[in-house]
Amino acid sequence: MYAGVMKDNRSVSRLQLEKVSHSFGQVSVLHDLSLVVNHGEVVVLVGPSGCGKSTILNVLSGHIIPLSGLVRSEGVVRTIHQQDGLFPWLTVSENIAMGLRSMKDTAHRTKEVSELINLVHLEGFEHHYPHQLSGGMRQRVELARVLAGDSDILLMDEPFSALDYQSRLRMRRELIRLLQLRLRTVVFVTHDIEEAAQLADRVLVLSGRPATISCELLIDAPRPRDLTDNAVIEAMKKILKELGL
């Protein structure tokens, strides 16, 4: 057993934590946490504030090397945060192109950027700066940036939580549509149980710090899912119960 990130192409899962423990000073945030995220799966993490959800994503992305345990990841990982992920001094096109900076062929890169702009419905805003966009539009630029290139693992840390309710619903629908166009492995953190029930193949409900998985819930229903679908309502009830709400 060792700490660190290992690229492993033989693994059947895309992401794996095995007995991962991490502390910040005296504060134990993760203790012997194990989880597997399979190829193409959308796993949603819910749990109390401060329990270690962002830390889990940072360990999965390799931004935090845990004190002990094993981290396996296979593929290109991109992270999207709640807000402020864009460079304010770059235009929409330039921000999206950041996701393609390893691509040397500039003509090809320009074409890719324009396809991504169409994909997230931002035609006409290519030369706008982030401050000239609404919150929902900024998160769509973020989506385009993380979808750029050959990213196949998306780590999403409350990406829509700063948006108003209607924008959140729209972004959820958008994400589902984009995942149907190209299968990606997703770990999504949210406080919003409605969002969890609409998006997830599997919801992991976490306990307080140090985070342990207190309940695992499979949602076997096709997407897009209406809020009034039985599977969504049942999942929401179970999550609420598990959170003690």
Ligand X SMILES: Nc1ncnc2c1ncn2[C@@H]1O[C@H](COP(=O)(O)OP(=O)(O)O)[C@@H](O)[C@H]1O
Residues near ligand X (CB under 6 A): 24, 27, 29, 49-55, 209
Q: How far is the CB of 123 from ligand X (least distance, A)?
A: 35
- Of 54, 55, 56, 52, residue with least CA distance to 36: 56
Q: How far is the CB of 124 from ligand X (least distance, A)?
A: 36
Reduce the DSSP state of residue 227 to 3 states and report it. Answer: coil
Q: How far is the CB of 197 from Mg ion (least distance, A)?
A: 20
Q: Are 148 and 136 in contact, with CB atoms under 8 Å apart?
A: no
HSE-up of residue 65 (Cα within 13 Å, Cβ side): 5
Q: Which is nearer to ligand X, 29 or 137 (CB)?
A: 29
Q: Does 54 bind Mg ion (CB under 5 A)?
A: yes
**What is the Cα–Cα distance from 96 to 142, expressed in whole angstroms?**
8
Q: Which is nearer to ligand X, 68 or 114 (CB)?
A: 68
**Binding site partner of 51, from ligand X, Mg ion, none, Cβ cut-off 5-8 A by kind:** ligand X
Q: Which is nearer to ligand X, 24 or 87 (CB)?
A: 24
**Binding site partner of 50, from Mg ion, ligand X, none, Cβ cut-off 5-8 A by kind:** ligand X
Reduce the DSSP state of residue 222 to 3 states and report it. Answer: coil
Q: Does 190 bind Mg ion (CB under 5 A)?
A: no
Any idea which residue has 């190209």 for tokens?
182
Q: Please, which residues have CB within 8 angstroms of residue 104's CB and are 6 or more apart in sequence? A: none
**Binding site partner of 87, from ligand X, Mg ion, none, Cβ cut-off 5-8 A by kind:** none
Q: Which is nearer to ligand X, 9 or 49 (CB)?
A: 49
Q: Which is nearer to Mg ion, 62 or 224 (CB)?
A: 62
Let me know how long the chain is.
Answer: 245
Any idea which residue has 């630029």 for tokens?
141
Q: Which residues bind Mg ion (CB under 5 A)?
A: 53-54
